[in-house]
Structure 1
Amino acid sequence: MHHPTDPARDPQSHQRARRAKAAWAQATQRHGIQWVVWCFAPFVGSVLLTMAFALLLPWWSVPRTLVPGHGLVWQGLAVVVGVVAALQWRLRKEVPPSQARRVLAWLTTLGALMAWPVVTMGLLPTVNGARLTAERVTQVQLMQLTTSPQKGQREPYHWARIVPLDGGTPGSQGGQGGKTRNDASSAGDVKAGRLLVSAADHAAWSQSGTNVLHITHSRGLLGARVVTDIQGVLP
């Protein structure tokens, strides 16, 4: 009968663990804690910038809510890859080839992966909403109003589940601000899904039985469309 090898008694596993531990010690002793800090700089920096933007939002009104079907995942990945490439270049320039450099390279990649969701959901929506163009109005069907818990807060998130309608909704035809009709092209900008809404709108639509919404949205600086206004249509 075959018994699995005990890692503590496996000479190869023990040697690999010793080599990894020695490489970590070499990386921290020879290059100091400075490079370890640099490895996690993308994550720490993105968290600090997101917190700074959150503190500025009451004075700097920037729309951040994206319409369903739009996101900033790939833009966030591009930012993180660029930062990692710069750190890896500096690492290869300053640290000679060794096991320690490989450990630092892996830590840099780990720090970047940790930063990716923070950059995508915390930092880039504010950057995207800093400049808006191509405003449009789209009519959608309000299918359901829901809530979900907000971590560390008593007030939950409020959501509207929507489905775009094929028909046209009056918007200004050309006009000031570049609004267009809710034709097929503008309807295609909004996909079926959940839309984050305010608590006041959530309560008002629930009470009035609203089932149609007019969503005003614009293209942001990074290409994702941002909600700038929502109007409920009384039944």
Structure 2
Amino acid sequence: MKRAEELTPPRALSTTGETAQRLNWLRAGVLGANDGIVSVAAVAVGVAGATTSSGPILTAGMAALIGGAISMALGEYVSVSSQSDSQRATIEQKRADLKAHPEKNLAELARNYENKGLSPSTAALVADELTESDALGAHLAAELDLEEDHVVSPWHAAFASAVAFTLGALLPLLAILLPPEHLRVPVTFVSVLLALGITGWIGAIIGGGSRNRAAARVVVGGALALAATFAIGRLLGASGLVG
């Protein structure tokens, strides 16, 4: 008969959770870049609609980039801090429960493997050997799809979010500052909408949704945002309120 470790390797128990976590990080990165593209492009195009001077466009664009990156990082830090606190609390509760009720938890672990399709005898063997090796790890993986060493880091999340936003924001900023004045807005529109289509496509691949539909949604939304801010900038410039 095979040993329990051969039937269900402890490391394999968390594979699904780790994969899902990586996909979530990748999806968050794509969304952060998308936010950077849209928000900075909208600000830059709006200012470009009011003035052709590079100084105000650069100032507004950099302010939007820095403010947006900090805001994204803070938001991600707060959100992930709450998640990590919850994970740590869950781990400590399970640790205390295992210490107080070892037999009950062993029976629960065996039932968990029975529900996954193992026979009662095999489930009992798996639960017994995994409990002997690492009781807390076995319960966290089987019941909560969680690993003690893989609690999410709010600092990592904040840094990743800020970097993704900044990388996305650099595209419209360069697109509107590098071309000649008469080409600034058209070049920015084309480059931003193309980039949004790519991020929408990638996001759909990660999420398993319709790629064309996802790309079309972000492109249409981005186009509306750019058109609206450019129109407002033009109106303000024409009114004389902005020089």
Tell me which interval the TM-score lies in, with the shorter structure as reference length: 0.3 to 0.5
Q: Which has the higher helix share?
A: 2
Higher relative contact order (CA 8 A, sep 6+): 2
TM-score, normalization: structure 2?
0.31
Q: Which has the higher strand share?
A: 1
